[in-house]
């Protein structure tokens, strides 16, 4: 099962490597990982997408909580939440592909943010699966470069992760 785990941690040197090191040392997998400081610059918010059985996810959250730099851990996917990921994708856009690519971007509510004679850069935001779907939908031979930020997530409504 895919899980989105959200972590508040001390914004200190090495804190990120403690989290990443824990995943590699214990054989847990990381599908995506994003991290940035919050409005309180002493705190970082980290989102990890991982997968595993219920037992594995339980161990992951317990082991994360054990790290001294980790303040709070929540499995966002346990309840209502919103996830978003940003993708920048550079595609070949010549001839009839030029119009087709523009149409696909519109269908997926993407924006073309860089245009040359032969390429577009499309900016697309959405859940991880939505970005996957876009990649599936366009001609693979036209993709020149893909950059994805990894998933960020936040709980719905009153679900608030704060110190």
Partner 1 sequence: MMTGAEIVIRCLQEEKVDYVFGYPGGAVLHIYDELFKQDKVKHVLVRHEQAAVHAADGLARSTHKVGVALVTSGPGATNAVTGIATAYMDSIPMVIISGQVPSYYIGQDAFQECDTVGITRPCVKHNFLIKDVRDIAMTMKKAFYIANTGRPGPVVVDIPKDITAAKCKFDYPNDVHMRSYNPVVKGHLGQIKKAVQLLLGARRPMIYTGGGVILSNADKLLTKLTRRLGFPITNTLMGLGAYPATDPQFLGMPGMHGTLEANMAMQHCDVLLAIGARFDDRVIGNPENFASLPRKIIHVDIDPSSISKRVRVDVPIVGNVPDVLAEMIKLIEAEQGKTEIGDWWKEIEGWRSRQCMNYKLKNDVIMPQYVIEKLYEITGGNAIITSDVGQHQMWAAQYYKFDQPRRWLNSGGLGTMGVGLPYAMGAALANPDLQIVCVTGEGSIQMCIQELSTAKQFRLPIKIINLNNRYLGMVRQWQEMFHGSRYSESYMDSLPDFVKLAEAYGHVGIRVERPEEVEGALKKAFIEHKDELVFLDILTDREANVFPMVAAGKGLADMILAEDL
**Which residues 4-23 are close enough to bind partner 1 by CB under 8 A?**
9-10, 13-14, 17-18, 21
No. of H helices and E strands in the chain?
4, 9
Torsion sign across C-alpha atoms 12, 17, 22, 23? positive
Whether residue 71 contacts residue 9, with contact meaning beta carbons closer than 8 Å, is answered with yes
Q: State the binding string over 124-153 for partner 1 (x if CB under 8 A, else -).
A: ------------------------------
Residues in CB range of 106: below 8 A, 6 or more apart: none
In the complex, least distance from residue 137 CB atom to partner 1, rounded to whole angstroms: 42
In the complex, least distance from residue 45 CB atom to partner 1, rounded to whole angstroms: 14
Give me the residues that bind partner 1 (CB under 8 A), please: 9-10, 13-14, 17-18, 21, 25, 55, 58-59, 62-63, 65-66, 68-71, 163
């Amino acid at each position: 099962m895919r899980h989105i785990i959200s972590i508040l941690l001390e914004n200190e040197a090495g804190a990120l490597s403690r989290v990443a090191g824990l995943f590699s040392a214990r054989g847990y997998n990381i599908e995506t990982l994003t991290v940035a400081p919050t409005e309180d610059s002493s705190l970082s918010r980290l989102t990890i997408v991982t997968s595993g059985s219920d037992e594995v996810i339980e161990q992951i959250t317990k082991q994360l909580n054990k790290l001294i730099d980790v303040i709070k851990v929540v499995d966002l996917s346990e309840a209502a939440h919103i996830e978003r990921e940003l993708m920048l994708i550079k595609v070949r856009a010549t001839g009839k592909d030029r119009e087709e690519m523009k149409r696909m971007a519109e269908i997926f509510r993407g924006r073309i943010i860089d245009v040359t004679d032969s390429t577009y850069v499309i900016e697309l935001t959405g859940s991880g699966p939505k970005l996957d779907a876009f990649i599936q939908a366009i001609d693979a031979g036209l993709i020149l470069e893909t950059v994805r930020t990894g998933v960020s997530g936040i709980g719905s409504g009153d679900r608030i992760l704060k110190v």
